[in-house]
Amino acid sequence: MTLKVSDIGEKELVRYIITNSKDITPDDTAITEFDSTNLISTTDMLIQSRHFPKNMPYFDMGFKSVTVNVSDLAAMGAEPLGFLLSIAIPKDLELDSFKEIIEGVLAACEYYHIPLIGGDTNEASEIIMSGTALGLCDEPLMKNTYSKGDVVAVTGDLGIAALGFELETSYNIYVKKAFKPRAKPEEGQILRKFGATSCTDITDGLASELYEIKKDGFGFMIHEELLEISDEYKDKASELGLDYLDLVLHVGEDFELLFTIKKDDLEKLPIDYKVIGVVTDSNIIELTLENGFVEEIRNKGYEHYVSE
């Protein structure tokens, strides 16, 4: 049987590329030695029909195209240096709509203190934006440099955007997080300076990111109680016929940072954070439910090229 890309998914395609290229660093970004420091570079493509809600304003589309790339810089603890944008648009897109997209891009660049330094334009049947972000960092944070006993923490609430994508008809805190996500570059730099032992950003869901950073012989114990899922959140998910834990663990788009750190260094952090678990030597990723039962967390998250 001939395999198709949909049979293996995006992450396996990326692993194939990395395996066959000696120059790619398998982390959130590429790391290149540059003028006594490191150039941190990343790129991400957003396609209108797959990455934006149907009623998402054009301004927010532009802003998000910057956010998704800066979030990768944040995961490395890098200082943003410059942003490039290639954009393809339908030929019948209204000029005012195009201007709104660019206004969003420029507003995001100003927000993240990262100048727009170049790009390209082309024609396509729908809006496609491919951004590239550059940064600098002497000692980048890596994904899997933790040790047993390290605390697992995140920089904010999880699952908010996931619920927001399901509540597009009413504007609230959930929809705002879905439409207007914000990366955490300053927090990433602080984590690097204050001793975080590893870090990644949560774009594809907590479960997917935990499996992405897992190394042989190590595991994670996450506690549902520490996720602090509100009753309101559970009620809204239930009204939609959705599993609240599935939203929190498997959807993503929060752009929070998932990091590990020694317990003694945790109290020194001058940023908001939420402890959600601990690094173990179980070699599996587990969740202690509020009722005390323990179950293995499935490796599931947002994936491109997956058959419906």
The enclosing domain of 102 has a CATH number of 3.30.1330.10
pLDDT tens-digit series, residues 228-279: 999 999 999 999 999 999 999 999 899 999 999 999 999 899 999 999 999 9
Portion of the chain with pLDDT greater than 70, in percent: 89
Angle between helices 58-76 and 185-193 (to 10 degrees): 10
Domain annotation covers residue 126:
yes
pLDDT beyond 60 at 194: yes
User: Cα-flanking dihedrals φ and ψ of residue 2, to 5°?
Assistant: -85, 125
Task: Please say whether the beta carbons of 179 and 164 come within 8 A.
Answer: yes
Mean pLDDT on 116-132:
96
Task: Please say whether the beta carbons of 71 and 148 come within 8 A.
Answer: no
- Identify whether residues 116 and 159 lie together within a single domain: no
pLDDT-derived band of residue 224, with 50, 70 and 90 as boundaries? very high
Of the three residues 136, 163, 189, the one that is the final residue of a domain is 136
- Identify whether residues 164 and 281 lie together within a single domain: yes
- Other beta carbons less than 10 A from residue 183's beta carbon: 27
Secondary structure (3-state) at 6: helix
DSSP conformational letter for 58: H
For residue 214, what are the contacts with CB-CB under 8 A and spacing of at least 6?
144, 220, 285
For residue 76, what are the contacts with CB-CB under 8 A and spacing of at least 6?
27, 28, 29, 31, 40, 135, 137, 140, 141, 188, 192, 199
CA atoms of 256 and 243, how far apart (whole Å): 21
pLDDT beyond 50 at 303: no
pLDDT beyond 90 at 96: yes
Tell me, what's the pLDDT at 55? Answer: 85
Using alpha carbons only, give the angle 28, 33, 35 rounded to the nearest 5 degrees: 130
- Identify whether residues 173 and 279 lie together within a single domain: yes
Of the three residues 136, 160, 188, the one that is the final residue of a domain is 136
Domain span holding position 184: 151-296
Domain annotation covers residue 51:
yes
- Identify whether residues 229 and 105 lie together within a single domain: no
Beta pairing, strands 285-288 & 294-296: antiparallel
Cα 52 off chain centre by: 15
Domain annotation covers residue 213:
yes
Q: How many domains does the chain have?
A: 2
- Identify whether residues 12 and 104 lie together within a single domain: yes
Tell me, what's the pLDDT at 57? Answer: 94
- Identify whether residues 50 and 77 lie together within a single domain: yes
Strand order in the sheet with 37-47: 30-34, 37-47, 128-136, 79-89, 116-123
Domain annotation covers residue 174:
yes
CA atoms of 308 and 295, how far apart (whole Å): 26
Tell me, what's the pLDDT at 158? Answer: 96
Cα 123 off chain centre by: 28
Domain annotation covers residue 308:
no
Q: What CATH number is associated with residue 180?
A: 3.90.650.10
Rg (CA), the chain: 19
User: Cα-flanking dihedrals φ and ψ of residue 217, to 5°?
Assistant: 90, -10
pLDDT beyond 80 at 98: yes
Secondary structure (3-state) at 84: strand
- Side-chain half-sphere CA neighbours of 278 within 13 A: 8
Closest of 259, 280, 281, 279 to residue 271, by C-alpha: 259
Closest of 116, 248, 127, 272 to residue 190, by C-alpha: 272
- Identify whether residues 94 and 179 lie together within a single domain: no
Domain annotation covers residue 142:
no
- Identify whether residues 51 and 88 lie together within a single domain: yes
- Identify whether residues 115 and 164 lie together within a single domain: no
Domain annotation covers residue 181:
yes
CA atoms of 285 and 211, how far apart (whole Å): 8
Task: Please say whether the beta carbons of 165 and 54 come within 8 A.
Answer: no
Mean pLDDT on 93-98:
97
